[in-house]
């Protein structure tokens, strides 16, 4: 069981914060890990021997921490600036062109769609969208029917960030394996909120953001690539640390392994903060305990919202089919007005429009207001936010 008093002491947030699927609030320990880097650089200089040794050891530990969290190996992890960049990195490295296709679920966040549309524009590949049915879950049979011998990748967003419904990641993994097609899971909104294991899911790529449920720094994220897939990727970008330059021959050859996906100087403070955020999960009880608390708070949130006349909650009532979030609307108000009202009353949240258009089309709505809970939130905070909505709905 989590120690709520410790969680609150570690996170001295001044307002009611319910926007974790956008950007969460880091605990003190993460802030300190980031500052440790700058303190070290200030005292010894970034290129000094002590600083180089410090960074090398901290990066190795970060690889181990992130890999352990998702059931991977350290040599399968590349750090990125965010989840969006991680997806774009795969798209820029995947051998796909005219005659090939990429299958994407239509519930996806725009960052899991735009790179493939750009690939289609530039290289002639086709993007195929797997449809969903209410309450917002993709149709597995229809997804399977879109896959053929020319499919280069299946892409799934684990949870869209407007209504909070989980997609069947394991089942999609079974389809991908049975068809012999690589599989990418966009887990930006779920890693840190529930257990995510790449072996259980069966994905070949997994992308994640550090600033969301992991509670790492902004500007942090990572890409997992199954080791057997690494040599199939040929990145379009090149730098001093991801290949070898033959000056006489005028050629550049990518290095083997995960380093071929590197590009220049790493963002050390972001990586160290992300690593510390992962360690913190273990220190407070583990991802299972975190997920249990988030699930309980999610169920409480959905139930409280449903009690208010005039509020429509989208997606399932069952909290086990969500990961910390509820999307809703209040009759007579635009979702942006709801967000402005709550933020004006010291509740950190947001309204959400065009970033996941497939979900909006399914429900015939323009957008949603969104509340997202984390393990350190309280029932009292949720109750206070819903009480404000009750006043608005009147």
pLDDT at residue 131 in the model:
96
Final residue before a domain boundary, out of 260, 283, 306: 283
**Same domain (yes/no): 17, 66:** no
**Same domain (yes/no): 120, 265:** yes
**Domain at 229, CATH number:** 3.40.640.10
Final residue before a domain boundary, out of 241, 261, 283: 283
pLDDT at residue 103 in the model:
99
**Domain at 323, CATH number:** 3.90.1150.10
pLDDT at residue 237 in the model:
84
Sheet hosting strand 126-130, strand order edge to edge: 77-80, 221-225, 205-209, 183-186, 151-157, 101-105, 126-130
CA distance to 8, 96, 199, 372, 385, per residue, from 381 (Å): 12, 48, 37, 12, 6
**Same domain (yes/no): 278, 296:** no
**Same domain (yes/no): 249, 294:** no
CA atoms of 66 and 78, how far apart (whole Å): 10
Segments of the chain with pLDDT less than 50: none
**Same domain (yes/no): 181, 84:** yes
**Same domain (yes/no): 117, 201:** yes
Q: Return the closest-CA partner of residue 273 out of 207, 213, 215.
A: 215
**Same domain (yes/no): 222, 366:** no
pLDDT at residue 1 in the model:
83
pLDDT at residue 31 in the model:
98
Half-sphere exposure of 331 (CA within 13 A, CB side): 9
Final residue before a domain boundary, out of 245, 261, 283: 283
**Same domain (yes/no): 166, 45:** yes
**Same domain (yes/no): 227, 149:** yes
Domain count within the chain: 2
* DSSP H or E run through 312: strand 311-314
pLDDT at residue 161 in the model:
84
**Same domain (yes/no): 252, 279:** yes
Query: What domain range includes position 74?
Result: 28-283
Neighbours of 232 (CB within 10 A): 14
> pTM for this one?
0.96
pLDDT at residue 240 in the model:
86
**Same domain (yes/no): 264, 310:** no
**Same domain (yes/no): 115, 196:** yes
């Amino acid at each position: 069981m989590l120690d709520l008093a410790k969680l609150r002491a570690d996170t001295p947030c001044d307002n009611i914060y319910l926007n974790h699927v956008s950007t969460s609030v880091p605990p003190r320990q993460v802030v300190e890990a980031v500052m440790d880097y700058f303190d070290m650089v200030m005292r010894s200089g970034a290129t000094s021997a002590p600083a180089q040794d410090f960074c090398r050891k901290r990066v190795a530990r970060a690889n181990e921490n992130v890999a352990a969290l998702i059931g991977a190996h350290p040599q399968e992890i590349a750090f990125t600036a965010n989840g969006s960049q991680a997806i774009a990195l795969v798209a820029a490295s995947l051998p796909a062109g005219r005659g090939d296709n990429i299958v994407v679920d239509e519930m996806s966040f725009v960052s899991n769609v735009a790179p493939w549309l750009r690939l289609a524009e530039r290289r002639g590949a086709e993007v195929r969208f797997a449809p969903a049915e209410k309450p917002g879950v993709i149709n597995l049979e229809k997804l399977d029917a879109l896959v053929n011998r020319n499919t280069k990748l299946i892409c799934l967003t684990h949870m869209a960030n407007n209504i909070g419904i989980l997609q069947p990641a394991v089942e999609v993994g079974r389809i991908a394996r049975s068809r012999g097609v690589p599989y990418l899971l966009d887990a930006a909104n779920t890693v840190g909120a529930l257990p995510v294991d790449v072996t259980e899911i069966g994905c070949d790529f997994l992308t994640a953001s550090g600033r969301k449920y992991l509670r790492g720094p902004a500007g942090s994220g990572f890409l997992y690539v199954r080791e057997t897939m690494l040599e199939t990727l040929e990145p379009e970008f090149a730098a001093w640390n991801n290949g070898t330059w033959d000056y006489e021959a005028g050629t550049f050859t990518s290095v083997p392994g995960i380093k071929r996906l590197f590009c220049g100087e790493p963002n050390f403070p972001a990586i160290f903060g992300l690593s510390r955020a992962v360690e913190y999960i273990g220190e407070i009880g583990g991802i299972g305990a975190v997920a249990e608390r988030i699930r309980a708070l999610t169920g409480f949130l959905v139930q409280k919202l449903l009690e208010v006349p005039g509020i429509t909650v989208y997606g399932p009532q069952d909290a086990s089919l969500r990961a910390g979030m509820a999307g809703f609307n209040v009759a007579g108000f635009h979702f942006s007005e709801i967000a402005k009202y709550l933020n004006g009353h010291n509740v950190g949240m947001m309204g959400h429009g065009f970033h996941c258009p497939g979900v909006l089309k399914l429900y015939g709505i323009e957008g949603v207001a969104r509340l997202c809970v984390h393990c350190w939130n309280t029932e009292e905070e949720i109750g206070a936010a819903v009480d404000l909505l009750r006043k608005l709905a009147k």
